[in-house]
Structure 1
């Protein structure tokens, strides 16, 4: 604009100077011209027409085409004028096919008909987009260094399914006009879409330097220093966040906030930048800092809504669900106060804040242990995020799939979490948090080779990050599920105890000797190792014993004594030997029936009872069929038989090394112990006695259980007076193997819960 105005001063008869003024005053891909601009543009193009006689035929064609864009009538249909201009530019290109500037301006005229909506959300080109791309590619084929064509091509391709097509233009453009801040910035639109967050950050850092120099030299005011310059800072903060440089992200976000805050009343659209400090704090899980942030001014509805959201996330992340719920209600009230058509970037503010509501609701549900509701709301959040209009940085810049994938991992559904993290990486390539989540998902499925490959990707993506990631961070909650990969698990100690029942029991022990005692009883042919995926997650405040029951693991294998009352007597004798007056007894499968027997025989010793994969009786067709196979066993027990038996009890894939060790533990048992234990289990029938168990009881059952059906769980819950039944979705018989984090959460919550009434 300044150049064209200066040209008009130097040569008042220069028609193309007036043409340039009119062109620059019009709408562009980023901003719609207002009424005063359109009036001035119309006047300028009329001057150009008046001076056109002195221009060349080629120049007159430019002026005549641009005259279609403006009208003296303030009520004129601006969109129709834009279409007329596009049609005129098409004719100009037809007349002058070798004029690359004309072709570039023709492409821009098409782009301005639907700014930022050249591609649908599912990656399909809008009407005219393919012609725009083809036109610009035609220019670049003949002149790869055409500044305008490279600029517009980046915009034309960035929201497409293949933004990498713009990499060559990005590399060229950053060198073509080093003093033009916006053009220096433009490559970052491609870099951020292709996962090169370091280059995206550098482009914007360089653009900020260029723009500062321009603003200081020119004294520019208005839209450019307020919007374009701060857009660079916004983009820089977003690139830092994706690159794992959170201290830089927060520092830059606060600089952005300080820049725009004094100008909000004069230019309200600047509010779109204000919430980014909250975004950065939530992304970094800086909950204390978020709660220290002061409430924004009341008239800043969007900023205040984000502030409420951030506070809610901080409270939910520290398991203060009631306080998080209160913030949620205030967020909803603020959202309702926002006009339905109020913009936030390229989206509606309500559309963006709807994502915040779903994500916060999901985290509140997760904090309350409601996994089903958490997943439902987080999936709604993903859908709402995907419905937000395209922009860079995104108008909603907290990828909900990171939280959804984390919630799925926390519930033990590693296979589904893998799908979610892969979908997030398709949307945001090389997102370090998504790579970390994918790596963890693969590890938990035993896909070790793939996990190692993703580990290398993650290490490269996160090599310059200033923060370490943990599994706990993915879940978005603090301490409740004890999931941090950085958490120091209590050390395991192994020992033997010689009992008054005449046997020696081997056991694993961990935790505070003064802590609440918890005794873990494994299933048929297992050992203490059955709880190896659980022990590292349990709090150090619990004094935990994982026993090798008689005949199993590294304990004695007497010639007889394999009925439930024998096993139960050993456990009580173990408690005597350790000076335990009472304990929470946790039993899986066979261990759950032993736990029932202890509660019947010595109720005063059982503070709480947790039954995993249990029933009212062992006897059913599945177990009887297994007995028939066990009766045929000889020594050594075939490894194939042991592996098929153990594999038949699981639904979710488990790591190969874990399953190998489980099978190895089963193979420690001679065939006679397999047979004697099976016979002893089938000899018991406790149905008529269950009503005598008054102990608070938690029944845990996977809905893909293959041994004991749902009907048995309902019957068990009905017969135990103080029982709670909890069902794990997509989980098999050994739910503490498949969902160790969720199991630990439920176990610890049950232990600390008040006595049922």
Structure 2
């Protein structure tokens, strides 16, 4: 349960000894309902949506007049606010009905009625009002709640969450994130066991230039709420951004196991994608291969009809199932393996695009022009479908992939200037957006691909600039470190070459004994110094 002293929640185990952190959201409900409500909010803060809905319903069972519980149900039904893409219509209908029940129930205080009115903004006229407009309306409504009830920590927290979740990926000032972070950081000092504060700090700073700010929260979140699978996974977002690969692996091994126990299979797949990404950066290919081999068994337990469960919804499950095989081939530059991947149609076309991208890049690197062209056509068709469905974020991500395959296909056919122009366009598009939280990173960063292309055409000095820029954004990437070392070596910059080769060996300290050729080369290069 959660006890309160001086208005701040004190951490105690919840029912059955579960550890979800310390949360207190004051309500006008009776004592029994309040306990259930606090537990449900703790679950909500760790994106345990199915369990939080059950908790809010338990509060209603204890006190039928606890109208604010419908706010919690409606917000839980919105699910993960950081997943780009249009919400499921059935999900939206249920959320609107819950918000309307909250209004009809007549919450007892003006503050509670304000929360219910705010969450309704997410669902009002969803058939015609664009999702982004509704999200911004919710953000603005929560701004009013937070301003009016300045001493209400939960109002400040949910407002900060709305700020971070609604920020435009193209806004490189990070104004919304920084404003949210200032709110969350201050409150985290006052409530160091609050799961939402640790969780949302990680999300808020989940961009390259801000990621290190989240390290204290990342190192504590799994200890705050170990009984929430997502709390085990979320630290790896920060560890991935900062190149702490072994920490990311440990985080996701624990997260996948916890998600499996809770039957949150999409979350298990999501954690597995982050896990395999970290294995591949550290050349732990045997571990990555074992995880890849486990996918059919995990997929057999994945039910895409389960929309509301944990943080990972159906799209996250489909994403991981497509991403992991593509990563395994591309990160190891197994072009034949990449070119032979089989696209799987899903309700989320951008997941299919990942396979077409891997196929196309593999074919282009093998100089198989017809196969590369087939992938380009498929990517263009997927991009157009996404644009027609107003899935603009994902349409742009697929456009980047399309440009990259076009660039390498052009290079394979000897059209060097066209190849460089296409790659430059891909770099510019990627620099103007942000990765989604659903992925640890692009299958192949655009600047990294540009660096490899420049090496191919014997421009090592320019290649080094691209690899170095990649490492600024994504520290510790295997291919960028090796590319930088090789580019420096070929351009006569011995000092830089040694630096990057040594960094590669440090990153790969846990690499398989049967090391990749790049690691053997790095060992030779540094031993001769």
TM-score (norm 2): 0.73
Q: 1:463 aligns with which of 509, 521, 525?
A: 509
CA distance in 2, matches of 1:65, 1:140: 24
CA distance in 2, matches of 1:245, 1:138: 39
The 3-state SS of whatever aligns with 2:207 is coil
Q: CA deviation at 1:91?
A: 3.6
CA distance in 1, matches of 2:349, 2:274: 23
Flag the 1:368–1:43 CA change in 2: closer, same or farther, 3 A: closer
CA distance in 2, matches of 1:327, 1:211: 38
CA distance in 2, matches of 1:299, 1:131: 35
CA distance in 2, matches of 1:401, 1:200: 24
Q: Which has the higher contact order (CA 8 A, sep 6+)?
A: 2
1:329-728 matches, cutoff 5 A: 329-338=373-382, 340-342=384-386, 350-364=395-409, 366-367=411-412, 372=417, 374-387=419-432, 389-392=434-437, 393=439, 396-466=442-512, 468-470=515-517
The 3-state SS of whatever aligns with 1:342 is helix
Q: CA deviation at 1:265?
A: 7.9
Query: Partner of 1:134 in structure 2?
Result: 182
Query: Partner of 1:6 in structure 2?
Result: 58
CA distance in 2, matches of 1:303, 1:22: 28
**Unaligned 5+ runs, structure 1:** 216-224, 474-483, 489-656, 658-757
CA distance in 2, matches of 1:139, 1:160: 23
1:275-354 matches, cutoff 5 A: 275-276=322-323, 277-290=325-338, 293=341, 296=344, 306-307=354-355, 309-318=357-366, 321=367, 324-338=368-382, 340-342=384-386, 350-354=395-399
Flag the 1:446–1:180 CA change in 2: closer, same or farther, 3 A: same
Q: CA deviation at 1:177?
A: 0.8
Tell me whether 136-145 or 422-431 shows the greater mean CA deviation: 136-145
| Number of equivalent positions | 458
Flag the 1:118–1:149 CA change in 2: closer, same or farther, 3 A: farther
Q: 2:81 aligns with which of 29, 44, 50?
A: 29
Tell me whether 440-449 or 185-194 shows the greater mean CA deviation: 440-449
Q: CA deviation at 1:169?
A: 1.0
Flag the 1:103–1:42 CA change in 2: closer, same or farther, 3 A: same
Flag the 1:345–1:285 CA change in 2: closer, same or farther, 3 A: farther
Superposed CA deviations along residues 375-410 of structure 1, whole A, max 9, x for unmatched, are: 444434433443564224257321243343234334
Tell me whether 352-361 or 64-73 shows the greater mean CA deviation: 64-73
1:24-173 matches, cutoff 5 A: 24-26=76-78, 28-31=80-83, 33-49=87-103, 51-52=105-106, 55=108, 59=112, 62-63=115-116, 65-66=118-119, 71=124, 82-114=135-167, 117=168, 120=171, 123-126=172-175, 128-159=176-207, 161-173=209-221
- Alpha-carbon contact 1:346-1:390 (below 8 Å) kept: no
Flag the 1:309–1:61 CA change in 2: closer, same or farther, 3 A: closer
Flag the 1:84–1:147 CA change in 2: closer, same or farther, 3 A: same
- Which structure: greater strand fraction? 1
Q: 2:250 aligns with which of 173, 179, 202?
A: 202
CA distance in 2, matches of 1:350, 1:183: 30
- Alpha-carbon contact 2:252-2:275 (below 8 Å) kept: yes
CA RMSD of aligned residues (A): 3.9
Tell me whether 155-164 or 66-75 shows the greater mean CA deviation: 66-75
- Which structure: greater helix fraction? 2
Tell me whether 226-235 or 304-313 shows the greater mean CA deviation: 304-313
CA distance in 1, matches of 2:346, 2:401: 19
Q: CA deviation at 1:341?
A: 4.7
Q: CA deviation at 1:415?
A: 1.8
Flag the 1:199–1:346 CA change in 2: closer, same or farther, 3 A: farther
CA distance in 2, matches of 1:73, 1:449: 58
Flag the 1:25–1:354 CA change in 2: closer, same or farther, 3 A: closer
- Alpha-carbon contact 1:417-1:441 (below 8 Å) kept: yes
Flag the 1:369–1:37 CA change in 2: closer, same or farther, 3 A: closer
Determine whether 1:252 maps to 2:291.
yes
Q: CA deviation at 1:4?
A: 0.9
Flag the 1:366–1:251 CA change in 2: closer, same or farther, 3 A: farther
- Alpha-carbon contact 1:237-1:252 (below 8 Å) kept: yes
Determine whether 1:273 maps to 2:317.
no
- Alpha-carbon contact 1:194-1:428 (below 8 Å) kept: yes
Query: Partner of 1:629 in structure 2?
Result: none
Superposed CA deviations along residues 93-125 of structure 1, whole A, max 9, x for unmatched, are: 3343332222101212333444xx3563xx322
Query: Partner of 2:240 in structure 1?
Result: 192
The 3-state SS of whatever aligns with 1:398 is coil
Determine whether 1:234 maps to 2:273.
yes
CA distance in 1, matches of 2:170, 2:346: 36
- Alpha-carbon contact 1:237-1:249 (below 8 Å) kept: yes
- Alpha-carbon contact 1:119-1:160 (below 8 Å) kept: no
CA distance in 2, matches of 1:73, 1:420: 43
Q: CA deviation at 1:453?
A: 3.0
The 3-state SS of whatever aligns with 2:262 is helix
Query: Partner of 2:13 in structure 1?
Result: none
CA distance in 1, matches of 2:400, 2:390: 15
- Alpha-carbon contact 2:357-2:379 (below 8 Å) kept: no
- Alpha-carbon contact 1:358-1:380 (below 8 Å) kept: yes
Structure index of larger Rg: 1
CA distance in 1, matches of 2:162, 2:348: 35
